[in-house]
Copies of this chain bind each other. A is one copy, B any other.
Amino acid sequence: MELKELGEFGLIDRLAAQAARSLRPGTIGIGDDCAVFRASPQHDLLLTTDMLVENIHFIRALTTPWDLGRKSIAVNLSDIAACGGTPRHAVVSVALPPNLDVEFALGLFQGICDCAREHNVDIVGGDTTSSPRDLVINVALTGEVEPGRAVLRSGAKPGDLIFLTGPAGDAAAGLDLLLHHRQLVGEYPALAAAYHNPTPHVAEGRIIGQSGYATAMIDVSDGVAADLTHLCRASGVGARIFADKLPKSTMFRDYAMRVGLNIHEFAVSGGEDYILLMTVDPAHASALANLLAVECRRPLHHIGVMTADTGLEYVLPDGSAQPLIRRGWDHFRQSET
């Protein structure tokens, strides 16, 4: 069987099962945003990694090297944020095609270093090699969190409210803009920037983690639908979210109307926003919202509620509900799943 038949998530399931058989107790392994393990009595260590591959995750001609460098570390910062941790040290591997311009390589590293410095992360090592054709970047990032305080995907309870830390759909709209409506990029710069240069919610994740109010958290990389599905599966519960509660930026609404995107579909299934999705006991919801507003001027957006059955429902503005099917790009099948 070839990979495109099994699909990405099928393969990940099999690989995770294979790795889990060799895990020691006390380590939280594959399947969360980060691995978490006790490093000392004073802190737990977080570890995460992400690989960006040319023509899969990015198209060289559509990005600047600096944006690409930033994004390659930002996606890892977002994983640390989703566990409520403080990012610390990164190692960076790059496979560079021989015909790549030296200035592109240096710009890429400048983006990585700049984004790292903004988040007090040290780039402490790496591996530089060549690639026959495609540019590949891998970042592995460590983080720290107080012992036992990492926020996982698995703690959501029925009745918990679901929140987002920012608007959904901007990055997917940005990709649509870059791929299909290049002539409009000048009119929607924030959408292109949301796709090229996402802002990981590191400070937000840390405040949420320290507050102890979030029962579960995940970052939105595959899309709200796909990532909420991951969280529900890990927690053994279901969810109901509301299309008209999903926060959408004015620019996204305007662009979607103009080019004829299904706005509710795009907001729930578009990936790469790198906002945080969390579940909170209703008794703590306003305290958490106040905390985020005060500490980092970030509003929390209530989008739904966790349910006892394991189904996932998407309630449209007309009140009709449809099953929330995990949507998201399957890299092997090259199609929506």
A residues near B, CB below 8 A?
1-6, 8, 11-12, 14-15, 18-19, 21-24, 27-30, 32, 34-35, 37, 39-43, 45, 47-51, 53-57, 89, 91-103, 105-106, 109-110, 113, 116-117, 122-134, 136, 138, 140, 142, 331-332, 334
Contact = CB atoms under 8 A, between A and B. Distances in A.
Given A2-B102, A8-B128, 5 more contacts: A39-B45, A49-B125, A56-B130, A130-B331, A140-B140
Number of copies: 2
Contacts of A127: 49-51, 138
Contact of A132 (B35, B53, B101): B53
A109 B18 CA distance: 8
Contacts of A34: 125
B136 A136 contact: yes
A124 to B, nearest CB: 3
12 contacts: A2-B100, A2-B102, A3-B99, A4-B99, A11-B96, A18-B109, A19-B109, A22-B116, A24-B122, A39-B45, A51-B136, A140-B140
Ordered nearest first, which 7 A-B pairs have the shortest CB separation?
A40-B40, A140-B140, A35-B124, A130-B331, A51-B93, A138-B138, A49-B91
A102 B51 contact: no
A131 B50 contact: no
A117 to B, nearest CB: 5
A153 to B, nearest CB: 13
Contact of A124 (B27, B93, B103, B331): B27
Nearest to A130: B331
